[in-house]
Chain A
Amino acid sequence: MNSERWERIHQLVEGALECTPPERREFVVSGSAGDTELCREVLSLLGADVVDELPTHWLGTLAIPDTDRFAPGDRLADRYLIRRLIGRGGMGEVYEADDEVLGITVALKTLRAIGGRDPSSEQLKLEGMLARSVWHPNICRVYELGRHGDDESALWFLAMEPLPGPTLEERLREVGRLPLDLALGFAEQLAGGLGAAHRAGVVHLDLKPANVLLVSRNGVEHAVITDFGIGQALARSDRAARGGRPGAILGTPAFMAPEQLRGEEVGPAADIYALGIVLHLMVTGSLPFSGLATEELIRRKLEEESPAPRDAMPDLDARWDAVIRRCLERDPRRRFARVEHVAGALAGRIQEEPTGLPERVGIPRASLPSERDPFVGREPELVELERARRAGERLLTLVGPGGMGKTRLAIHFGWQTSDAWRGGAWFCDLTEAGDTDGIASAVGVSLGVQLGRGDPIRQLGHAIAGRGPCLIILDNCEQVVAQVAETIDQWRSAAPDAGFLVTSRERLGLEGEHALAVESLPVDEALDLFTLRARGLRPGFAMSGDDADAAREIVRLLDGIPLAIELAAARIRVMSVTQILEGTSHRFRLLAGGGGARHETLERALDGSWELLAPWERAAWEQCAVFESGCTLEAASDVLDLGAWPSAPPTVDVLRSLIDKSLLRSFVPPAEPGEPIPDARFGMYVTLQEYARAKLRSSVDAEAAAERRHGSFYARYGSDEVMESVDRHGGAPQRRRLEYELDNLIGACRRATARGDEETIASTYRAAVRVLRGRGPLGTALALGGEALKRMRLRSARWAGVALDFGEAEWFAGQIESSRTHHMMALEFARESGDPRLEGRVAGPLGRVCFFLGQMDEASEVLEAGMAAARSVNDARALCVALNVLGMMHHELGRSKAALEVYEEALAITRALGDRAQEAVTMVSIGVLRQHYGGLDEAGELFEAALAIYREMGNRRSEGIARLNLGSVRTDQGRLTEARVHAEASLAIARAIGARVGEGRAFTLLGELHTELAELELARSHFERALAIHRELGDRRVEGILVGQLGRLLELTGEPAKALPEYEHAIAIHREVGNRYYEAADLSGLAGIWLALGSRREARNALAIAEPMAREIEARYELARVLCVRAELECAEGDADTAHSALAEAESLAADLDTTGASQLSGALARARRALDGAGLASPPNAPRS
């Protein structure tokens, strides 16, 4: 049912009621025009009794006390004793209560059901867990998301830090608006709190003055945000309850961002919007859209730009006006990239770039993991790091044993100095890297670089260089020290402005390396760490004198090792400090008095935590070690087997308890700007992972079983269903999920190979290749697939499936010949095992390889057969891939009509399938075809549409390409400003991702652009830079095109003699690589030059080749140019008739081109006409004029 249908029902009911009762049925039957369901619906309404008022017996319930409210003395969840009701909000009531377990006072807020559904779900618990871990002075701490009662209708509540003070809303109602200096203070605090939360992966989604408390600290009021994460939790839980469909609007429409009102998934940008509204309200005293009914408010927000704050208050400070407007941009990508920038921009600290290129092309500014809890100590190390940075040291290595907190220190330094690195700070975890490809993979993910077919390390070097001054953090390098050293050496010389921070158990041994030993914490810092962690788990924790002595002894026994101290402090939830000391000293009696090595101390500390675990917690923790780079809640619930303990709590609660014990951590992978925050993941610091893995290994059966479950979970990612969904419209989150799981996919595939589990190999490999071929490194895909193929039974359909994916990886890696071999084998085995589906899938890739190798007949044959197979099993996707290859073949062979037909068919199929990736590819192909044959307007539209898709998919490499194509069309159309925007954006993208080809093409485009602008010197320098890049890459085809461009440029600057050799050189290269379109084009240029130099014979020779060639490949634009030169030539020879007929044909060709193509030709046409007029050869009376 939808609104239109409901409206139709309404009309029919109304119409029927106007008829007499006997006529009604017929009226409805005829009115519903054969739609039986509609008919039935209307009749059932007409037949229903009318109900005009509430049944009176319902009203009786009004008198019954509402027991959702609690009275003083009530106890919730066996723990919280209600003292009094302190407030009531839209979500529920707030009480003051005693936490009887911890002996502190809390504020307790009940959460009302949303729309009749209780907000109970695993998701809600998970979000609550995240919200709980945010720690910032401007955020009201959430201690616990709990529930009262244990079935599905239980009541949910939050236990929070009790904060006295009025809300910002109450204050504003009292005073109207705030002076700027006061507002600035609040704005900075709000932005600070929001920023900390965003870094921890939590968004607020219901920020408004009623959720901001003004708390007095040392006589100064501070703004503190409450209800953090609840909006997000409820929204997600509601979406989950509705099967992922957008849910009811939860929140306050006046403060909600347009994307939030539309019910889309939202991220930090929605909070930035809400902050903008709060700022508006603080400084003007009114809302931007005020005095509107809700429906109207929502409509205006969705359709109109927000009114400027100065409309409400004309004398408002210009900076505030601009900052608020930027926060309130309708497109989330046009708002500030990070909420911290709002405060910086208000204070004038950050020279915010206007909504300019870097953000428009969607390159993120950094990738640092969140810091969930406060960082303790390490002052001397931080000072030393900062000193080294200022002194221009470019390679810093943090060296120390496991458990010293090197990773935390590196991340903290990254955040601390993030403003100093204009090119961002990038965190790369190398734990899973086993070789150079593994390093490339981790760094590629962090930098958002899709690795192409070239050397990934080199490409990354370019990408790092392209970011200017930036910090690259390489974490956990110990197992690949030699490879990291080699890699960094290369990158240092490629990117002179970049800094590298490495953490490792040993140093790299490079020249210029500044190594810093990270040792145990001194006692005072160790004590601070203990206290702070304890306080995090037990709010209000304070140490008595005895406790302090005990804690001092604990940290001494633990040798000041941060990880060991955190593990000990985590026990504070269930033990007193002295009890912790007893446990610790018992364990360390043998070591007391020193003498034990630090790794032994750590080992014992880990043993201590291990022994305190419940049996199911042990099982869960050791099984967690089977994951690589962490896992989602869904994966953990599926893979962890706690079946041996029927009384074990649900998985999510076990994980939560492991997090509380500091054995597991939850984190949120960094998201692109404007994207929703991804699912939280669970993982371990490397030292803990090693320990847990050793525990798992101690039971061979348990390990094998866990690996099998892990394998079959990740095998699902390779199913047809998942593979198809990632390319569909709105598949971005799914695609990203796949990317996050790459390490798990690779691990699962490797282990399946070791145990010969072919089914798991085939599925996990397919999924891994899907990720790797998009973002690289392809070496990983090749190594993994090569190993798998060796272990599998030859000639089976599964072998063929893996061979197909392997061949794809080879194709993308540029190993064309061997890709052909694997595809051929896949085809053969697919046919042998009678698998038409697989045969259809092989056809496209194999056809493409054959075509590339010039084996046209073979390509056609494979494609025809494969397309027939795909049609027979209705595999539209495979069919479409094959059609695209066929279209490419036709295009390249100059059969433009056939190409267009094939492409159009492919486009129709992709649209029906909803396969966005293929749709974009096809549109680009058609666009290139159209552009070549003069259809510039259509080409422009197609490229625009493809660009929109690539942006939506977050595929930056393709976005860069689409922008290049678009820039080129816009140049041809003379829309030079637009062309320039696209050219510069594609250059920025190419540099950021280290795509040298793209960089070269962007320079080419800039050269063409400046040629049009008659800035010929600039144009030449761009062409030369492009030429240098393509020569370096060994790309002869493009080299030829560029040499031709330089020829044309010299022709334009009036240096025909210099242009001549360039054209000849270009033509030779075109012939060598079989580039007929450009050969025709440059031949016509060459003919023009010869003519200008007075050598008609040479000109005629050139035209004799160019003209039939242009006709054959149906290049109308080039043919028209050739004919213009021909007209000039014949005119010089005195053959008026031939000259006139050539000109007439050129003019009629020009008339067939669209307006912009024709205007491009007008210069050549005019010259030909002038030549005819000048020679006194009058035009025939009926010659067409354009």
Chain B
Amino acid sequence: MATQGQATGLLVAVSNGNREALNELLPLVYDELRAIARRRLRHERPGHTLDTVGLVNEAYLKLIRLEHIQWNSRAHFLAIAAQAMRNILVNHALKRKRIKRGGGALHVPLDEVAGLPAAEADRILALHEALDRLAVLNPRHARVVECRFFGGMTIEETSAALDASPATIKRDWNLLRRWLGRELGENE
């Protein structure tokens, strides 16, 4: 697992606009999020569920040395985590479908991916594609959905990560939470 120092350095670089660093940080966050989720489910009582905010914040505390970081870098981190959450879900949904079709000689016992019903995998993928289309219509809107929905970020955190006023984000969200409702509802 990555050291705190490495992730912190990358986050500083990302906050300064270095896109390359993002490519390196993203997999670290991706792995960390999954590790935390695994640990929690293993140690906690049956029936206990995970929550997005808790997951993301724990990843932040694990990966980043707080004393080196400014407040808005935290927002950047959360936005990256939100992106990672989206990636995890999409990759998983793709894999679920792959198994369902019986394709690929992957060495995965079926029960390991049974966590996600096939219909849910379809919903995740449909949402993912809808988000891609939304990004064409308004790139900020797609990012807002990512931050708020996938990352569980607050209006203020989203506003800091996307460099837009909280009022703007709030207005966007009024539309987008309905958009989400519709996109997810349609597939039921």
B87's nearest neighbour on chain A, judged by CB, is: A112
Q: Does B61 sit within 8 A of A, measured CB to CB?
A: no
B38 touches A63 (CB 8 A): yes
Total of A-B residue pairs, C-beta within 8 Å: 175
Chain A residues with Cβ below 8 Å from B19 are: 252-254, 294
Q: Does B67 sit within 8 A of A, measured CB to CB?
A: no
A62's nearest neighbour on chain B, judged by CB, is: B37
For A13, A66, A116, the residue with the greatest tally of chain B CB atoms inside 10 Å of its CB is A116
Q: Does A497 sit within 8 A of B, measured CB to CB?
A: no
A148 touches B171 (CB 8 A): no
A74 touches B107 (CB 8 A): yes
The stretch from A48-56, A220-228, A732-740, A890-898 touching chain B is A48-56
Chain B residues with Cβ below 8 Å from A153 are: 94, 97-98, 101, 103-104
For B107, B108, B179, the residue with the greatest tally of chain A CB atoms inside 10 Å of its CB is B179
In the bound complex, what is the Cα–Cα distance between A155 and B108 (angstroms)?
14
Chain A residues with Cβ below 8 Å from B120 are: 57-58
In the bound complex, what is the Cα–Cα distance between A50 and B184 (angstroms)?
10
A48 touches B182 (CB 8 A): yes
Q: How far is the CB of A741 from chain B (nearest CB, A)?
A: 35
Interface string of A1-42 (1 = CB under 8 A from B): 111001101100110010000000000000000000000000
A113 touches B94 (CB 8 A): yes
In the bound complex, what is the Cα–Cα distance between A295 and B142 (angstroms)?
13
In the bound complex, what is the Cα–Cα distance between A56 and B120 (angstroms)?
12
Given A51-B180, A54-B150, A293-B17 in contact, is the A68-B51 Cβ separation under 8 Å? no
For A67, A118, A293, A297, the residue with the greatest tally of chain B CB atoms inside 10 Å of its CB is A67
Given A13-B174, A151-B104 in contact, is the A61-B17 Cβ separation under 8 Å? no
A62 touches B103 (CB 8 A): no
B104 touches A155 (CB 8 A): yes
Q: Does A699 sit within 8 A of B, measured CB to CB?
A: no
B34's nearest neighbour on chain A, judged by CB, is: A62
Q: Does A60 sit within 8 A of B, measured CB to CB?
A: yes
Q: Does B70 sit within 8 A of A, measured CB to CB?
A: no
In the bound complex, what is the Cα–Cα distance between A150 and B172 (angstroms)?
43
For B85, B115, B124, B149, the residue with the greatest tally of chain A CB atoms inside 10 Å of its CB is B115
Chain B residues with Cβ below 8 Å from A152 are: 103
Chain B residues with Cβ below 8 Å from A64 are: 92, 112-113, 115-116
A44 touches B171 (CB 8 A): no
- Please report which residues of chain B, range 93-133, place their CB below 8 angstroms from some CB of chain A when the two chains form the complex: 94-95, 97-98, 101-108, 112-113, 115-116, 120, 124-125, 128-129, 132-133
Given A51-B177, A113-B94, A210-B20 in contact, is the A1-B137 Cβ separation under 8 Å? yes
Chain A residues with Cβ below 8 Å from B129 are: 115-116
- Please report which residues of chain A, range 361-399, place their CB below 8 angstroms from some CB of chain B when the two chains form the complex: none
In the bound complex, what is the Cα–Cα distance between A134 and B47 (angstroms)?
56
In the bound complex, what is the Cα–Cα distance between A10 and B144 (angstroms)?
14
B181 touches A49 (CB 8 A): yes
Interface string of B4-36 (1 = CB under 8 A from A): 000000000000110110010011000001100
B181 touches A88 (CB 8 A): no
Which secondary structure characterizes the binding site on chain B?
A: helix
B162's nearest neighbour on chain A, judged by CB, is: A293
A7's nearest neighbour on chain B, judged by CB, is: B138
- Please report which residues of chain B, range 18-66, place their CB below 8 angstroms from some CB of chain A when the two chains form the complex: 19-20, 23, 26-27, 33-34, 37-38, 40-42, 49-52, 55
B106's nearest neighbour on chain A, judged by CB, is: A67
A60 touches B112 (CB 8 A): no
Chain A residues with Cβ below 8 Å from B132 are: 115-116, 248
A50 touches B181 (CB 8 A): yes
B125 touches A116 (CB 8 A): yes
Q: How far is the CB of B102 from chain A (nearest CB, A)?
A: 8
Q: Does A759 sit within 8 A of B, measured CB to CB?
A: no
Q: How far is the CB of B146 from chain A (nearest CB, A)?
A: 11
Q: How far is the CB of A1121 from chain B (nearest CB, A)?
A: 59
Chain A residues with Cβ below 8 Å from B34 are: 62-63, 66
Chain B residues with Cβ below 8 Å from A150 are: 103
Chain A residues with Cβ below 8 Å from B20 are: 169, 208, 210, 252, 254
Interface residues on B, range: 35 or more
Q: Does A90 sit within 8 A of B, measured CB to CB?
A: yes
Which secondary structure characterizes the binding site on chain A?
A: loop
Given A48-B185, A57-B120, A58-B124 in contact, is the A89-B51 Cβ separation under 8 Å? no
In the bound complex, what is the Cα–Cα distance between A292 and B128 (angstroms)?
27
In the bound complex, what is the Cα–Cα distance between A61 and B90 (angstroms)?
10
Q: How far is the CB of A231 from chain B (nearest CB, A)?
A: 14
Given A14-B171, A45-B175, A45-B182 in contact, is the A54-B152 Cβ separation under 8 Å? yes
Q: How far is the CB of B25 from chain A (nearest CB, A)?
A: 11
Chain A residues with Cβ below 8 Å from B55 are: 59, 62
In the bound complex, what is the Cα–Cα distance between A153 and B96 (angstroms)?
10
A50 touches B52 (CB 8 A): no
B41's nearest neighbour on chain A, judged by CB, is: A63
In the bound complex, what is the Cα–Cα distance between A54 and B152 (angstroms)?
8
In the bound complex, what is the Cα–Cα distance between A74 and B34 (angstroms)?
22
User: B51 contacts which of A3, A52, A59, A208 (Cβ < 8 Å)?
Assistant: A59
A58 touches B41 (CB 8 A): no
In the bound complex, what is the Cα–Cα distance between A89 and B23 (angstroms)?
7
Chain A residues with Cβ below 8 Å from B138 are: 3, 6-7, 10
- Please report which residues of chain A, range 143-170, place their CB below 8 angstroms from some CB of chain B when the two chains form the complex: 148-155, 169
In the bound complex, what is the Cα–Cα distance between A36 and B141 (angstroms)?
24
Q: Does A46 sit within 8 A of B, measured CB to CB?
A: yes
In the bound complex, what is the Cα–Cα distance between A1 and B138 (angstroms)?
11
In the bound complex, what is the Cα–Cα distance between A154 and B182 (angstroms)?
31
A60 touches B104 (CB 8 A): no
Chain B residues with Cβ below 8 Å from A293 are: 17, 163
Q: Does A646 sit within 8 A of B, measured CB to CB?
A: no
User: B178 contacts which of A1, A46, A66, A90 (Cβ < 8 Å)?
Assistant: A46
In the bound complex, what is the Cα–Cα distance between A6 and B133 (angstroms)?
11
Given A90-B23, A149-B105, A254-B19 in contact, is the A56-B51 Cβ separation under 8 Å? yes
User: A61 contacts which of B88, B101, B108, B179 (Cβ < 8 Å)?
Assistant: B88
Q: Does B74 sit within 8 A of A, measured CB to CB?
A: no
B52 touches A88 (CB 8 A): no
Q: Does A290 sit within 8 A of B, measured CB to CB?
A: yes
Q: Does B3 sit within 8 A of A, measured CB to CB?
A: no
Q: Does A643 sit within 8 A of B, measured CB to CB?
A: no
Given A3-B138, A59-B37, A252-B19 in contact, is the A53-B179 Cβ separation under 8 Å? no
In the bound complex, what is the Cα–Cα distance between A6 and B139 (angstroms)?
12
For A45, A54, A56, A293, the residue with the greatest tally of chain B CB atoms inside 10 Å of its CB is A54
Q: How far is the CB of B92 from chain A (nearest CB, A)?
A: 5
Q: Does A354 sit within 8 A of B, measured CB to CB?
A: no
A77's nearest neighbour on chain B, judged by CB, is: B105
Given A62-B37, A116-B128, A151-B101 in contact, is the A50-B137 Cβ separation under 8 Å? no
- Please report which residues of chain B, range 63-87, place their CB below 8 angstroms from some CB of chain A when the two chains form the complex: 85
Chain B residues with Cβ below 8 Å from A169 are: 20
In the bound complex, what is the Cα–Cα distance between A1084 and B13 (angstroms)?
77
A149 touches B104 (CB 8 A): yes
Chain B residues with Cβ below 8 Å from A66 are: 34, 88, 91-92
Q: Does A291 sit within 8 A of B, measured CB to CB?
A: yes
User: A148 contacts which of B105, B136, B163 (Cβ < 8 Å)?
Assistant: B105
Interface string of B136-172 (1 = CB under 8 A from A): 1111010000001110100000000001000000011
Question: 18 additional contacts, CB 8 Å, given A51-B181, A155-B104, A253-B19?
Answer: A1-B137, A2-B137, A6-B138, A13-B175, A45-B179, A50-B177, A51-B180, A57-B120, A60-B50, A61-B88, A61-B115, A62-B38, A62-B88, A115-B132, A149-B98, A153-B98, A153-B103, A290-B17
The chain B residues found within 8 Å of chain A, CB to CB, are 16-17, 19-20, 23, 26-27, 33-34, 37-38, 40-42, 49-52, 55, 85, 88-92, 94-95, 97-98, 101-108, 112-113, 115-116, 120, 124-125, 128-129, 132-133, 136-139, 141, 148-150, 152, 163, 171-172, 174-175, 177-182, 184-185
Q: Would you mind naming 5 contact pairs between A and B with Cβ atoms under 8 Å apart?
A: A6-B137, A10-B172, A90-B26, A149-B103, A252-B19
The 8 closest A-B pairs by CB, nearest first: A149-B104, A62-B37, A151-B103, A48-B182, A48-B181, A49-B181, A6-B137, A51-B180
